[in-house]
Structure 1
């Protein structure tokens, strides 16, 4: 009877040890994945900041005025060219 109990305890200990090894391995893999994803998140946040700065630069009123005048040939109308339409 004691040999059977001892064998059961040994088998349970081995199965438990294998379970612990598997859990530790899975934890390491998930931690590496988490670190990789955090790094990607940080890079995306930096890129988003750059894009916001670029958008702000392109949307400046001086820049829009310059493009309208130089590339599109637009100009402010003279006083005589302005017509006010009222309902």
Structure 2
């Protein structure tokens, strides 16, 4: 009777060990699958981040070009304003305008 109880306890212990190992094995596989999914998501996010960084760099370059263009147009107006205010320049009226046309003597000599 004592041996039967020991054998029964041994069987129960083996069953518990088998179940424990099976659960641990399942948990290891589930963990491995989650690691694979996390790496996949990380790579997608990293690729997306690089796309956003490239887009940001392109937009920064375009912004710089637009600032240069704005300064160019602003400088033209500023030059005209300074010519009028500081140098007292003005567009002459039609009565004071003289049109000079060059004769085509250089072409006629050829």
TM-score w.r.t. the length of structure 1 is 0.76
Q: Which has the higher contact order (CA 8 A, sep 6+)?
A: 1
User: How large is the RMSD of aligned CA atoms in angstroms?
Assistant: 1.9
Distance in 2 of aligned mates of 1:14 and 1:2: 18
Determine whether 1:43 maps to 2:35.
Answer: no
Please say which structure displays the higher CA radius of gyration.
2
The answer to whether 1:55 aligns with 2:100 is no
User: Equivalents in 1 of 2:45, 2:11: separation in Å?
Assistant: 51
The CA deviation string for residues 31-54 of structure 1, in whole angstroms up to 9 with x for no partner, is 110000000000011011101100
Unaligned runs of 5+ in 1: 82-87
User: What TM-score does the superposition give when structure 2 sets the normalisation length?
Assistant: 0.61
Q: Which runs of 5+ in 2 are unaligned?
A: 1-8, 90-110
Deviation for aligned residue 1:68 = 7.7
1:66 to 48, 73, 76: 73
